[in-house]
Amino acid sequence: MSPSVRNIIAWILQALLAAMFIYGGSHKLMDLPGTMKMFEGLGMPGWFGGFIGGAELLGGIGLLIPRTVRPAAMGLIIIMIGAVFMHATKIPGGLAKGVPAIVALVLLVVVLMLRSRTEARAV
């Protein structure tokens, strides 16, 4: 795959993921009491819901800034691993309802790989 095609694919995935995480993070923050209650119901401290919402929002923005794509993707990968784990163990509906988290996790890994290869070849 040529570097220009790889770059186009990466930007498309970054834009889609950014939109998803900016929406998800801002939704968590706009309904902070509900988010905190949900996280407490899963056995986590309520403040962690606000932290995750903020991290998703900032991570989504980071996917749109060339210098921060890789760190943003790595942080969001950690969040999505946690989301998949929570769907598998605590959230009613299990992994069937966690499909969006699994898809986001896979796409973030793809973005990280595409951006890592581009930087490795440029050096």
Q: How confident is the model at residue 117 (pLDDT cuts 50, 70, 90)?
A: low
pLDDT at 62 over 80: yes
Residue-level pLDDT at 56: 98
Give the domain ranges of the chain: 3-118
Mean pLDDT of 41-53: 96
Q: Show contacts of 9-16: CB within 8 Å, 24+ apart.
A: 9/114, 10/111, 10/114, 10/115, 10/118, 13/107, 13/110, 13/111, 13/114, 14/63, 14/64, 14/69, 14/111, 15/63, 15/64, 16/107
Average pLDDT, the chain: 93
Is the pTM of the predicted complex or chain greater than 0.85? yes
pLDDT surpasses 60 at 78:
yes
